[in-house]
Amino acid sequence: MTRKFTRVPELSLKAFTHGDAKKRAEFIDALMEGFQYFGFIILKDHGVSTELLARAYKLSAEFFALPETEKMKFYRKDGQRGYTPFGREHAKNSHFPDLKEFWHVGREFAPDSPLAALYPPNFWPDRPVGFHATFTALYDALEEAGLSMLDALAPSLGVPEDFFRKMATGGNSILRLLHYPPIPADADPHSIRAAAHEDINLITILVAAAGAGLELLDRDGEWLPVETDPENLIVDAGDMLARIANDIIPATTHRVVNPKGPNVSRYSMPFFMHPRADALLTCLDSCRGAGAKYPDITANDFLQERLREIGLAG
């Protein structure tokens, strides 16, 4: 990496999915460069409709405005589907709760699917109207964008283009609807909306949030705001990808800070792209160098280990 970046690079996914050989090669190189430099890139021309994104934000806000007693009907202690109340999750190695509540949408499957033995079913509230259809559609659209991103990443890591797509197809990917309420007057002064952390999964595709606050820790140890137009997506590399790539692509630390201006709600929708539960997280030959830094582990075992560390599993 010879170039010095002052902001997260912005790439057009259409250049990879519909471009000629030159444009595809340029996208592949820029994606790897952005991931190595920041662990983040910003994605435009991604194929997820602006109408769907706007509808999803509207319904998310309507759901979180429901009475707490109604939301708690969909609470699961493991946090993997449905509702998780305010202050339940904390960052790894943090003793202070994050100032957020969220809802998890997982993969939809038929009751007789083999996946039914692996993943818990989704919960769907009766209101707001359209919640099920909207977030199923958003899950599918973000997953397809994510699979294209993984296809573009593969050549730089010396594996076939469909290597990561095969690993993630049928995976335990999760769409999280996030609400950061106004900071309560009695909030612990050590708590922020999302304490510094790295994501667990392969890559995260984040719908640009309604409200500022996302910051990444750059390679110089400085916190850099990550902001973009509301129709764009923000993509970052997670711990599973860093593990497979032997930290050639690092998982970048990031956080969501408390508002510096008006104390208002912030809404966000990250899509956490996971491999299949039985996928083996093992160092790629092209990344091995002097040796693998991490022992082999299945995706599900690694996920469960991390869930315990952040307070979402026993």
Above pLDDT 90, what percent of the chain?
Answer: 69
> What are the residues whose beta carbons fall under 8 Å from the beta carbon of 29, sequence distance 6 or more?
156
Q: Show the tokens assigned to 167.
A: 């690993």
User: Who wins on pLDDT, 98 or 90?
Assistant: 98
**Count of residues in the chain:** 314
What is the pLDDT, as a whole number, of residue 190? 85
Least confident piece of the model among 148-157, 267-276, 290-299, 303-312: 303-312
- Quote the strand ranges of the chain, DSSP E: 10-12, 40-44, 82-84, 101-105, 174-180, 194-197, 203-210, 214-217, 223-225, 233-237, 254-256, 266-273, 280-281, 297-298
Instruction: Report DSSP state, residue 218.
Output: -
Residue 308's alpha-carbon distances to 63, 92, 299, 303, in angstroms, are 27, 9, 14, 9
In this predicted structure, the answer to whether residue 276 has a pLDDT above a threshold of 50 is yes
**pLDDT of 87 higher than 90:** no
4 — pLDDT class (breaks 50, 70, 90): low
* Helix ranges, 110-176 (H): 131-153, 163-168
d(CA 311, CA 84): 11
Asked if the model's pLDDT at residue 1 lies above 70, the reply is no
Poorest-pLDDT segment among 8-22, 83-97, 220-234? 83-97
The structural domains of the chain, ordered by start, are 10-79+88-309 (2.60.120.330)
Quote the crossing angle between the two packed helices 50-64 and 131-153, to the nearest 10°: 130
Tell me, what amino acid is at 114?
P
Of the candidate ranges 93-97, 144-148, 184-188, the one whose mean pLDDT is the lowest? 93-97
Average pLDDT over residues 53-75: 95
